[in-house]
Structure 1
């Protein structure tokens, strides 16, 4: 009866069901990690865009761009590059889930007595490891280029924790793209805009105060800007000045937007997964 409930809802409803779901989750995650082990280039792919941004923008133009509140521009840019790691995870996850859908793997999983959510959670947990490795690469490059935190270790870890949280939510956005778009070619067309456009319409590389009046509200209310602002504050790096509500209360923006986005992505993705191939 427990397994039947898990198949209907995608979530366990009893202690035994929870234990079974965890075993299923670890097993499917292990399968996904074996695939990723044979494709180590995924880590470099996730880190490439942030590295290019940090070098081309943060390092080459660090003396040419002046921040309204002052401070080192290279340190200002690092938080934006770190956030790009999270955004760069959307595309690969969307493609891998879509390929499983197109390759019939979903149909095979649907025929097994496993919870529906375990398959999608396994994708996100395995790809989160790739994102963490990419973040390590970007952080190492940032240190080489001159980035330094100026706060205590707990604050530094809290800042990276926000990046990890954002990364996991973005992975579920990738799952949502796969379940709604379905086609790998279509996914490859749209997901690069997330990595390229969102950071530039935020406080990642420029202060919203220096942007045109039409773009400024978008940059200020962009949840990416809230994560970046919180990270800069936790790391003691130069920050963008803003009197707007998001600028003064980035924690509230992070809590609301990421919670809503995760709930939306998870609910819609799981519902689509239940009906995939039927």
Structure 2
């Protein structure tokens, strides 16, 4: 694997000691090139092991079939409407959340095998590893979302708005995933051991199910419904339903009535917190 190296200062004995480029534009180009190298490395690993990729795609498809056909007949949507159209946007968001465990696992595996330490010893931008990991996970998430959209269409789901609102809904789903990728990278750099990874993966379930993904929060106890409404995933689900023109969006609380706004604000806040933490943690892994 090759990486883009920064210009080098020459010292005694003609030993090249890499240093960062002197200008901001050059530093940015250096970081982008190194980040793309790491992204290609991760994507290449997936292509060499297609079985794991296919298995990861089959799980959300199976969930769509289970909730759409086994549970769908017994569920009602407040205000009326088809339950499959209510459920599918929630399944889209659920899959974005469940990708958190995959990110944590990938980062922990690289750290335990010494790959991360090797990256840190190379003359490359310190942000390249975390940025490359994020880009690779987003590519995989986009493919997963495309497969889910196809699965949803097969079970009877459809969008009722134009191309603009539909693309905006898909963009908000990927924006949520983008924010959670940074959370996953940070946790992967922070924790050690498979037991901790299992704990993180287990926590995906309350985060995903304590939301409006599969049932309306109005059907929950008041205090639990309030917690679910303020779950960032609920804002993304409600915004996606609104933009897709699917039933079940809206609500009486402020957070529910401003779902599209909060579906942008929540991921941006999460990213603003965890992206710098990821870079800082990568630089101080041995501390």
Give the TM-score normalised by the residue count of structure 2.
0.88
Query: Which structure 1 segments of 5+ residues have no match?
Result: none
Instruction: Give the Å deviation of 1:27.
Output: 1.3
Task: Determine helix, strand or coil for the equivalent of 1:61.
Answer: helix
Q: Which whole-Å CA distance do the structure 2 matches of 1:263 and 1:167 have between them?
A: 14
Query: Which structure 2 segments of 5+ residues have no match?
Result: 1-5, 9-17
Question: Could you tell me which of 232, 252, 266 is aligned with 2:275?
Answer: 266
Contact 2:96 2:176 in 1 (8 A): yes
Q: Which whole-Å CA distance do the structure 2 matches of 1:88 and 1:47 have between them?
A: 12
Structure 1 residues 120 and 40 mapped into 2: Cα distance closer, same or farther (>3 Å)? same
- Please tell me the root mean square deviation across aligned C-alpha atoms, in Å: 2.3
Instruction: Give the Å deviation of 1:146.
Output: 0.5
Contact 1:94 1:187 in 2 (8 A): yes
Quote the residue 1:86 is aligned against.
96
Q: Which whole-Å CA distance do the structure 2 matches of 1:46 and 1:13 have between them?
A: 42
Q: Which whole-Å CA distance do the structure 1 matches of 2:277 and 2:27 have between them?
A: 23
Task: Determine helix, strand or coil for the equivalent of 1:187.
Answer: helix
Quote the residue 1:257 is aligned against.
266
Task: Determine helix, strand or coil for the equivalent of 1:215.
Answer: helix
Task: Determine helix, strand or coil for the equivalent of 1:189.
Answer: helix
| 1:27 equivalenced with 2:51 (yes/no) | no
Quote the residue 1:213 is aligned against.
222
Question: Could you tell me which of 192, 215, 222 is aligned with 2:231?
Answer: 222
Quote the residue 2:117 is aligned against.
107
Instruction: Give the Å deviation of 1:13.
Output: 5.5
Quote the residue 1:38 is aligned against.
48
> Which aligned pairs between 1:131-210 and structure 2 lie closer than 5 A?
131-194=141-204, 196-210=205-219
Quote the residue 2:75 is aligned against.
65
Instruction: Give the Å deviation of 1:44.
Output: 3.7
Aligned residues: 273
Q: Which whole-Å CA distance do the structure 2 matches of 1:209 and 1:129 have between them?
A: 35
| 1:126 equivalenced with 2:136 (yes/no) | yes
Q: Which whole-Å CA distance do the structure 2 matches of 1:169 and 1:262 have between them?
A: 5
